[in-house]
Homo-oligomer: A and B are copies of this chain.
């Protein structure tokens, strides 16, 4: 439904970017710190951060207004909104879950062995 869910999920679909999220979950960090922590070149990380920015999952802050400010560094921090939106979508999907689960269980009792879950898992 939400148009932005697309960008959010696309951003989170990449393991590197999820790792960044997990790092930022603890505290805001500098771009270079994130690159180093992910054993990744600066430019590569920069592109990932651009994607995360565009999706609204993170925001950047310049170090101005700080006691020992260095205007070169960019500090990234997590933004809550997209996560909340994703939660909302998941809740909406799972709102139908109880009946689905009932139907599933009822069915599974009858024809469980004909269920096919794909070739690769």
Interface size class of A (residues with CB under 8 A): 35 or more
The reply to whether the CB of A43 lies closer than 8 angstroms to some CB of chain B is: no
- With A80-B101, A90-B90, A96-B26 already in contact, the answer to whether A59 and B116 are too (CB < 8 A) is yes
In the complex with contacts A5-B18, A13-B9, A90-B90, A110-B65 CB distance below 8 A: yes
Not counting A53-B117, A83-B94, a sample of 20 additional A-B residue pairs whose C-beta atoms are within 8 angstroms of each other reads A6-B15, A9-B12, A10-B13, A22-B93, A25-B93, A25-B100, A26-B96, A60-B116, A60-B117, A61-B111, A62-B114, A64-B114, A65-B111, A65-B114, A77-B100, A78-B100, A80-B94, A80-B101, A86-B90, A87-B87
